[in-house]
Every structure is written in structure tokens, then in C-alpha cells.
Amino acid sequence: GLGLGLGFTSKFGATVAAGGWGRGTWGRGTDETSANTLSPGLDFSSSPTRSPNDTGRLGRSNAYATGSVTSVTPSGTLKSVPRGVASLAGGSAGAAKENQDAHFHLDSGYETSGYEASAADGAGDFVAGVLDGHGVAGAKVSSFVRSKLASEIKAQSKSAGFSANKNLVNDPRGADACHVSRISAAAIVATLKDAFATAQKALLRAHGADCAESGSTCVVCARRGDNLVVANVGDSRCVLGRVVGGSIPGGGGRDAPFGFEQHNARLGSRNARLGSRTATSYVAVDLSVDHKPDRPDEAARISRAGGVVERARGLHGYAGPARVWRRFPRAGGLAVSRAFGDSRLAAAGVVATPEVKTERLTPRDAFVVLASDGVWDHVSSDEAVRIVGACVNEEAPGTTRRTGAGGGDSVWTRAADAVARKAAEGWRRSLGGVYRDDITCVVVPILH
């Protein structure tokens, strides 16, 4: 989460004062039922100055996103796809700030039906998203977009989703009204694109003044059957962890790498504590590409729209990363080329149109890591996957802690914590530790 203008530490430029960060308490993401889900519109009208769960020197959590958007059954029981979440506020010169990051998670078919099934039938499906707000109203923007995206994805998945027996798909929007087995990747892509467009329109219509110079990045990963689809705006990122070499944990098939019922008993290399010669290795597969202004195709697009891409001008020349500016009058300075909000830079080519990538899942695909740039600025994709894989390999065989879906300790929570902690260490080492961006990491296993 970041501020606006050259006087703020931000995606819009930064000058930080000397100082240092103290020690604090790690906060783990918790998930509430849909009764606590934020309502788009209401979250903007409230303006608390401090979050109810203030974490002191490590900063305040996003006060506008105090409950995760989570799908529940009619009886209120959380669906069973586990995940781990770690979110940490940033700050400058030892002073904590509000966490402008947000995240959400939808389970099993993205809807609230009480249907229980195996992963092969759709019970392993999920949607996960991470958002990173910037500007004065960054926390409000990320929270609004988070809520709107989640509600749109759930609504569209119901109108173009599985029938009650999970065998046929009813899609009333056009041809191919019935598909066998599961929604096609094209339908998921259309759902995400529509949801992003609707969220941007709703944000500008309801709160245009607030998001003129504030905005949010967003990355969303949707798993439906064998399809994994990622939509991205900005520099939050999604990475897939894939098993490489050796045998697949679980023996392959629908149980690999993590079986739906026994996945925690088969996490990674169960031999790490049994004297095995090797542990399972994982390779990172980037499922999104950061929208940096100096990315050649993005720079060309910005130029065609009438914007300018260059570093910030200072007393001693140019400094900092490439940024997007309005040509005339000279204004802006956004360090990403796509974002929700930031309406004053729309004329310079800043859009909320996502890039979408589809990946066909294989038995070797193990987990996905979604994170804000507070992680990726100091942790590479390869390193994040290595950290999560190490946590998986350390899990004791035979354990069945499946509390990742509803809070508490799990291998996925510990993995998310480990990635976030590594990012925090990187911020402490850079710039003398005087500045840290908001850090959010979400880890979700691929259940087969």
C-alpha cells in the first residue's frame, strides 16, 4: 500500500527519513463467514482512523477489509479447501501505517451450495485474490474492489456454473449452453474479465473523487477442475509451484501431489523425517507478468494513449523506477501501468483491463502463491516457491491439520508466514531498514 506524491513513500515516488524498525508481533489472516463480508459502498462511507485489531509498530491492518470474503454452506460450515495467509503493514522511519493490502478467497465452485464432492468433482475449486492499494484512499479502494470482485465472481459462477449433479454446465449467455464435466477455460476467462470491468465501473461511478489519485493492483487466481486461470492488473503476482524430478508425492493420479482427503498426510516429502535420501523439489511457473511502465509492450501502449513513461525528476536528475505521467499538464508518477482507480491517469493509458493467462493443471502442480509487490520487491518467484516447498517438505507424515480454511496453524499458514517474513527481512536490509511496503502472501494448495 502506497501514498501519492513525491513526499510519500509510494508507487508515486519516495523520500524516506532516517530511522529504524522495531520488533513486533506477526499477524495471520483469519477468515470470517459471509455475514462479515464487506458490502461495496458501505466500506467507503466509513472512515475509522485505527483498525480494531491494531498491531502496533508493525502497522494497522486494512480497516476497510476486516473480514475475508469467504464462501460458506447454508449451515455456515466453511468449505474445505485450505489456504495460508500472512499480511503485514508497512511504514516509514519506525512509524507504522495502515495496511492498504487486501485479499479474498472463495471455495468449491465459488458458490454457497451445500454440495459435497471430491476434488475431481469440483470440491477443490477456489478463487483467491490479492490487492495492493496506493494513494491516500488506497485502503478504501482495495477493499471496495475486493468486495465487488468477489460478489461478481460468485454471481457469475452461479449463472454459468455447475448443475446440481456437477456434471453439466448451464451457460445462459450464449452458445454451448451445456458443457460436459466442467466449465471451459474460456468461460472462466470471460467471468474474470467481466468481474474486473464491473468492479472498475462501480468504483468510478460510486467513488470517482476518492480514486482520482488513488488505486489498487489486483491478481486473481481461479481454479475450476483442470483449469487454472489468472487475471492480473498491476504488479501483484501469482506463481505456481510444480514438482520437478523424482516421483510425485502421493503416487500420481488424483492423489498427486496432494490427495483431497489425505493431502496433509502426504505433504511434500514425507521422507524428510524418515531418513529419505532426497526431498521433493519444486520449480516456479509465473502465471502473471508485472505491469511495470518500462515493460516494452506496456510502454508502447502508454505512449499510444498519450502518456509518458520516465523516472521521476529530481534536483540531481532522474531517480527511482519508471513511472506513468500525463503529458500535459504534467502530473501523475504511477509506478505501475495498470490499476483500478487512478482516474486522472486514464488519459495517460492507465487501465484496469487485466491480462489473463490460462494454465492446464498437471498431476505435478502442487500450490499457488499470490502476493503483493511488498513480497516480490525482495523475494523472487523461485525463492517464494522454494520457501513454500521447504515448509511442505518439513510437514510430519500422518498429520491431518486441515485448519487452513478457517484459521489456526497449518502448513499453508506457516508457508505464507515464511514468505512474508523473508520479504520483511529484505526490507530491513534495504535503505537501512527505514521503509517497508505492505506485505501480503496467500498460499493455496492444488488438490487433485
Domains and CATH numbers, the chain: 82-109+122-160+183-245+279-291+341-399+408-445 (3.60.40.10)
Instruction: Give the predicted TM-score (pTM) of the model.
Output: 0.77
3-state SS record for the chain: CECCCCCCCECCECCCCCCCCCCCCCCECCCCCHHHCCCCCHHHHCCCCCCCCCCHHHCECCCCCCCCCCCECCCCCECCCCCEEEEECCEECCEECECCEEEEEEEHHHCCCCCCCCHHHCCCCEEEEEEEEECCCHHHHHHHHHHHHHHHHHHHHHHCCECCCCCEEECCCCCCCEEECCCCHHHHHHHHHHHHHHHHHHHHHHHCCCCCCCEEEEEEEEEECCEEEEEEECCCEEEEEEEECCCCCCCCHHHCCECCCCHHHHCCCHHHHCCCCCCCEEEEEECCCCCCCCCHHHHHHHHHHCEEEEEEEECCEEEEEEEEEECCCCEEEECCCECEECHHHHHHCCECCCEEEEEECCCCEEEEEEECHHHHCCCCHHHHHHHHHHHHHHCCCCCCCCHHHCCCCCHHHHHHHHHHHHHHHHHHHHHHHCEECCEEEEEEECEC
Q: Is the pLDDT of residue 44 over 70?
A: no
pLDDT digit string, tens, across residues 84-140: 999 999 998 878 889 999 999 998 655 433 334 444 456 789 999 999 999 999 999
The pLDDT of residue 93: 81
Of 118-122, 222-226, 397-401, 429-433, which one has max mean pLDDT?
A: 222-226
For the segment 186-193, the average pLDDT, to the nearest whole number, is: 92
> pLDDT class for 329, splitting at 50, 70, 90?
confident
Question: Which of the residue ranges 79-83, 189-193, 264-268, 280-284 would you say has the lowest mean pLDDT?
Answer: 264-268
* Percent with pLDDT over 90 in the chain: 51
pLDDT digit string, tens, across residues 353-394: 999 999 999 999 999 999 999 999 999 999 999 999 999 998
